[in-house]
Structure 1
Amino acid sequence: MEIQGSTAHLALLCSPGMGHLIPFAQLASRLAKVYNIAITLLINSENPSNPAYLSLLDSLPDGVDAVTLPLPPPNSIPEGGSPMTKIILTVISSLPHVHSNLTRLISTKSLSALVIDLFSFPAKEMAGQLGLPCYLFYPSPCTALALNFHAPELVKSYQGEFKDLPEPVKLPGCIPISGPDLVEPLQDRTTEMYHGFLQLCTQLFDMKGILVNTYEELEPGVVKTLREPDEVRPPVYAVGPLTRPIESEADRTHESITWLDLQPDKSVVYVALGSWGILNQEQVRELALGLELSGHRFVWVITGCSDALPEGFEEKTKEIGHVVTSWAPQLAILKHKSIGLFLTHCGWSSVLESVTSGVPMVSLPMYAEQRLNAALLTDGAKVCFRPKESESGLIPRDEIVRVVKCVIEGEEGEVLRKRVGELKNAAVHALLEGGSSYQAMAEVVEVWNKNVA
């Protein structure tokens, strides 16, 4: 499909978290550079002074106007809540600012649509009141989206808690999903999060279209299933993988990169668990001791819980390990030739960065849809090892040792590396002209161009 010049203008609304912002920023950049769409990117940032955030803003191309929305008032977000609850409350707090920005854009630009993410659904009603078609940018896999579509009927078919589900859930085009691996909001029917999630799932059917940050070769069955025309479900477009390029000098000269330059090829375990995930002290200790006992080199980016490291850990492992307690350039690390394994929380942005860098994974999921992602990567894409948990959910040090050695030393690791290399190459082709993701994006751009007044 040939891309013509465009006069369309889109507003994109992103919820807090670098894992949400990175793909949203890449969506904005790709729409501006490849499809000639003007973009206003409205951002809820949990830390506007974060170097990673500022670096990302600097990387945005001409044609993308980034607007950082004000932070919530002090003490307006309760302490101790789940990451998902904090994100949603932050978005709700920002709605008056979103409204004023959209009103301004409507009066000065030819806005074709508002694109939101999954946590920004409170803005959907506002879009309707302003006469804006509302699209969803879904930053998780199509497997999770399929679960969203089927969740309302799923909860009616089973009355107990899903963690006790006797058989895996089998959705069209998807891998079988065990009860404990279903998304976090479905795990406890008594919570507000559960009821809010089901309400959100029903609202998906009201969207004008859904853009998903995945690609057909990574999830072939479910992408093909959701691309089939449906009278009830909105159109689904697999437009990924959208990951941040390495662009800044700070990325290339970071202390972690300097350390990695001294290590042998494919010898280092990279450990990073996202900007929102914080391990409990016992799991931090077991992970640290497992890394130490494995004897393999590691870079561990640990924020928010570094004080839980065993006493003397950094000193004892200084010959093989490098601990970073602040921001680190994840994509530059993953693309470094010394990295042989990524121990990850399985946030989807991190997953795509690992796959497009050709790095196999070991999963340590914590919240949201991360357990589902881990199952998809292990049983579907086959680019990940999944450690065995104790009954309490703890992954003990011996299990950390086992999976690290399997991937770095064993034949199993070679199989994972070969498979992830295939998916890395497929990701490149998906985004090229004529590729599956290029074509999918062109289809929705054509719709937006027709919406220009």
Structure 2
Amino acid sequence: MEVEGKLHIVMVPWLAFGHMIPYLELAKCLARMGHRISFLSTPRNIDRLPTVPHDLRPRINLVKLTPPSIDGLPEDAQSTVDVPLDHLRFLEQLLDGLEGPLSSFLEGDPSPDWVIYDMGVYWAPRVAAKYGIPTVFFGPFSAMTLSIIGPPTVLMDPQPVTPEQLTVPPSWVPFPTNVAFPYYTAERLANYSKGRESGSGLTKGQRLGLTVQGSHVAAIRSCQEFEPEWIRLLGELYQKPVFPIGLLSPSIPEIDGKGHDPWVDYKWLDTQKHGSTVYVAFGSELQFSKEQVHELAVGLELSELPFFWAYRGDPSLLPLGFEERTKGRGFVRLGWAPQARLLAHTSIGCFFMHGGWGSSVEGLAFGKPLIMLPMIIDQGLIMRVMVGKKVGVEVPRNERDGSFTWEGVAKSLKLVMGEDEGGPIRSNAREMMKIFANKERDNQYIKDFVDYLIKHKVPDPSA
């Protein structure tokens, strides 16, 4: 029996940890308010999620949906970290194969009050409609990114977009802006958006267009204090309520249930001076070439700055002798690293990263200026915004092919960590903590969102 005034919400994120983690953060926020969450994904993804705090476990049900076998996809490949970017079509097929399991889950009693679903889960609204359940599209993006990509009418247009079209602000943006895709990401995005290989017969744009179109409400990982004009525009483009639900900024993770504190592996940072060290992390999905890894490593080495590199790539790609030459000044951590704890450390002075929205939120929540090397999707857009707000810099690039050099890497590091130009950038990043680390304000955003969900849920006919 449901508690009066409390909701049962089903969540279906896209198969990427950059989406599953903010979905889980939202689930925890909702659970703290007393609502019940069913968080649905594949078995391997559920097993790899961060530990849910003990006090919230009774209200967060992690549900494993059995995926189909997909030709061309290894059996244990169930998220974007498991496949190269050119194999994402196989993950889309895997995701689409969860439509039946979701339908079976929604048949349960009592019926959920809302389904919150992610980009590409375009079939969730039609499944929920069978059971009379309203839906929310929650894109863990900035309002700027979703506005630039465009309304459903644009996304549904089968006419392919060109890279040149993506490198200028779109016509539906009514205010002056220089935010547009750099050519080196625009070309890849244009080719990606044309693809129909997932088996659905839809382009990537059409999948997203149907995702937005089918929802009753949209929610975004953002706030009025950071991008009010873009939030207002997105509501006009979507022609439906759009709720900013705050930035879901990270909390320092707890020690895991086995009693092991992962921080014991990072005591090296405690020996470094306050604000002296560059934290380097490009996530788990980017796959750098050997040449790119060499440019990054040599740039770090010749910057002569202390650095902590959370390296998720192939260790054999690192330059021969790199770790030995930088021993004592640099630390290379292979595999997973507790990013929030690292960014919170007083010795970390800046964050060298890809410019993704989730990483940008984490960095600015701890007041760290950003050194950005955008590679895919909306990273170039976010980089332009952050450079415009003077909280970070872009590593110099070849605008056509996106290539970069160790000289550009070292120069960018020295600029941000130096006293002259770097001082104001670091100061601006610390000032951004007032927005990105404001948990009280974020909780109010979520409360306003939940109030709407309670008011507009479908009444229980048996009540």
Picking from 236, 245, 249, the partner of 2:255 is 249
Paired position in structure 2 for 1:24: 23
Give CA deviations for 1:310-346 in whole Å, capped at 9, x if unaligned.
Answer: 1111111111111111111011111111111111122
Compute the displacement of 1:446 (Å).
3.4
Q: Distance in 1 between matches of 2:420 and 2:180?
A: 27
**CA offset at residue 261 of structure 1?**
1.4
Give me the whole-angstrom Cα distance separating, in 1, the residues matched to 2:32 and 2:359: 23
Deviations 1:239-261 (A, max 9, x none): 12113322322595435531211
Counterpart CA distance in 2 for 1:184 and 1:215 is 29
Q: Which runs of 5+ in 1 are unaligned?
A: none
Among 333, 336, 341, the residue aligned to 1:324: 333
Tell me if 1:212 matches 2:208: no
Alignment match, 1:177: 179
Of 25, 34, 37 in structure 1, the residue corresponding to residue 35 of structure 2 is 37
Q: Aligned-pair distance for 1:149?
A: 3.0
Q: Which amino acid aligns with 1:411?
A: D
Paired position in structure 2 for 1:423: 432
Indicate yes or no: 2:375 matched with 1:366.
yes
In angstroms, what is the RMSD of aligned CA positions? Answer: 3.2
Structure 1 residue matching 2:455: 3-state secondary structure = helix
Partners of 2:266 and 2:374 lie apart in 1 by 26
Shift in Å at residue 443 of structure 1? 4.3
Residue-by-residue CA offset, 1:137-185 (whole Å, 9 max, x unaligned): 11111011112334754998x9872246674436145733334365954
The structure-2 alpha-carbon separation of the partners of 1:222 and 1:427, relative to structure 1 and needing over 3 Å to count, comes to: same
Letter in 2 for 1:195: T
C-alpha displacement of 1:281: 1.4
Secondary structure of residue in 2 paired with 1:237: strand
Higher relative contact order (CA 8 A, sep 6+): 1
- In the other structure, the counterpart of 2:240 is 234
Structure 2 gaps, min length 5: 75-82
Letter in 1 for 2:26: L
Residue 268 of structure 1 contacts residue 296 of structure 1 at CA under 8 Å; is this kept in 2?
A: yes
Contact 1:112 1:448 in 2 (8 A): no
Instruction: Summarize the alignment of residues 20-99 of structure 1 with structure 2, pairs less than 5 Å apart.
Output: 20-34=19-33, 36-44=34-42, 47=45, 49-50=47-48, 53-56=49-52, 60-70=56-66, 73=69, 75-77=71-73, 80-82=84-86, 84-99=88-103
Alignment TM-score, normalising by the size of structure 2: 0.84
Partner of 1:142: 143
Aligned residue in 2 for 1:295: 304
Change (3 A) 1:154 1:17: closer
Q: CA deviation at 1:58?
A: 6.4
Percent of matched pairs sharing the same residue: 25
Sort the Cα spacing of 1:93 and 1:275 in 2 relative to 1 into closer, same or farther, 3 A. Answer: farther
**Residue 267 (structure 1) aligns with:** 276
Against the structure 1 CA distance between its residues 127 and 184, is the aligned structure 2 distance closer, same or farther, given a 3 Å change threshold? farther
After TM superposition, list the pairs within 5 Å mapping 1:274-423 onto structure 2. Answer: 274-379=283-388, 381-390=389-398, 391-423=400-432
Provide closer, same or farther for how the CA distance between residues 22 and 434 of structure 1 changes in structure 2, counting only shifts above 3 A. closer
The structural deviation recorded for 1:25 is: 0.6
Letter in 1 for 2:27: A
Cα 1:214–1:94 shift into 2, 3 Å: same
Q: 1:414 to 1:311 in 2, by over 3 A?
A: same
After the TM superposition, which of the residue ranges 393-402 and 274-283 deviates more from structure 2?
Answer: 274-283
C-alpha distance in structure 1 between counterparts of 2:428 and 2:365, whole Å: 12
The equivalent residue for 1:445 is 453
Question: What is the SS of the residue equivalent to 2:203?
Answer: helix
| 1:358-409 Cα deviation digits (max 9, x unpaired) | 1111112222222222222222x33221111124311210000011001111
| Letter matched to residue 42 of structure 1 | L
Which letter does structure 2 place at the counterpart of 1:27?
Answer: L
Cα shift at 1:65:
1.0
Offset of residue 7 of structure 1: 2.9
The alpha carbon displacement at 1:41 in A equals 0.7
- Mapped to 2, the partners of 1:48 and 1:31 lie a distance apart of 19
Following the alignment from structure 1 to structure 2, what is the Cα–Cα distance between the partners of residues 94 and 344?
33
Post-superposition offset of 1:95 = 2.7
3-state SS, counterpart of residue 297 of structure 2: helix
Please report how far the alpha carbon of residue 279 of structure 1 lies from its aligned counterpart in structure 2 after TM superposition: 1.1
Mapping of residues 180-199 of structure 1, within 5 Å: 180=183, 185-187=189-191, 190-192=194-196, 195-199=203-207
TM-score (norm 1): 0.86
For the residues of structure 2 that align with 1:136 and 1:189, how far apart are their CA atoms? 20
User: What secondary structure sits across from 1:249 in the alignment?
Assistant: coil
Q: What is the identity, as a one-letter code, of the residue corresponding to 2:86?
A: S
**Equivalent residues, number:** 440
One-letter amino acid matched to 1:421: R
